[in-house]
Structure 1
Amino acid sequence: MFHDFELKGVSKDGEALTLEFVIPWGQVWNPVVLEYQIIVELSGCRDLLCEFFVFKDYEANKSKPLALQETEKRITNDPQTLAKLGLEVQSYTYTTPDIYVLHCNSSKEIAGGELTFTVTDYQIFNDNGEPLTLGKLKQWASQWWDSIQEMWDEQKK
């Protein structure tokens, strides 16, 4: 379900982790909402770590294909740094009992990264602070993928 979720904000207070995402699904709504934001509040977050890869000398090498550019591995657990990386969640993995890894790419000078954290419970809110259910998110995800399928079908004609 997580795909192209842009991480815009990160805060941590004790074992409470808050992630703010811009999701792409609003692009298919009427009226269109380009920057629809959701807030995910996670509890039981004892561990938070992000391993990411920065392109070396990005400006000098940006004309090279991405696969040929050298990277440097960096690690952070600082929420402010995480929020500035421009990470976009592409997928996730879950390992019992409570470990999540968000697999990310970036539209900035970051080749990619993984955000790993523990969580025991969650709540999801819309940009007005109103609770969102997983059912609603799944509905939006289905609409998004259906619109992509329609676009592909139109291109085949």
Structure 2
Amino acid sequence: MYYFEFGEDKKSWNFGAKPLPFSSFQFGNLIITDEELMADLRKASKCNAVLEADIAILGVSVNDKKYKRPANPATCMIADAKSGMMLKCELQQPEDDTIVSLAEELIGFIFQYGAPKEVRVSNILVEAGVQQICQICGIKLRRVKKLPIIEEFREGMRRFM
């Protein structure tokens, strides 16, 4: 990171590059503990779908009387990589846990259409959120650099904001 700070002598300025103040980010995997849900997921039928799953922060201010300050909402998105169709795009409330919401959306898809053949994600946080579901259902979980369907949808949304 680039820094600009007051020197120790309090009379001069120091500036330059230095490492970020943290070296790693600790995050927890989403763990399902409901035995009945896990048993139902194990028994879920299979389908040939390949899904893209992601969470995106919209980057826009939303004013709502419920909150003291403007919110910057997130969306949970699931797309069909084969057809190019957006299947789900749920706007989240500031107090919502977006990883849990995305996992719930994926579980809803599995119960309605069957376990997809593959789920593609673009970052480790989303991967951690759906990893257990994919393991239970025998879904291939792949982290990729780009999610083309979701990126195209986001770009379309940006044009309207």
Is the TM-score greater than 0.5?
no
Higher strand proportion, which one? 1
Instruction: Identify the TM-score tier after normalising by the shorter chain.
Output: under 0.3
Higher helix proportion, which one? 2
Q: Higher Cα Rg: structure 1 or 2?
A: 2
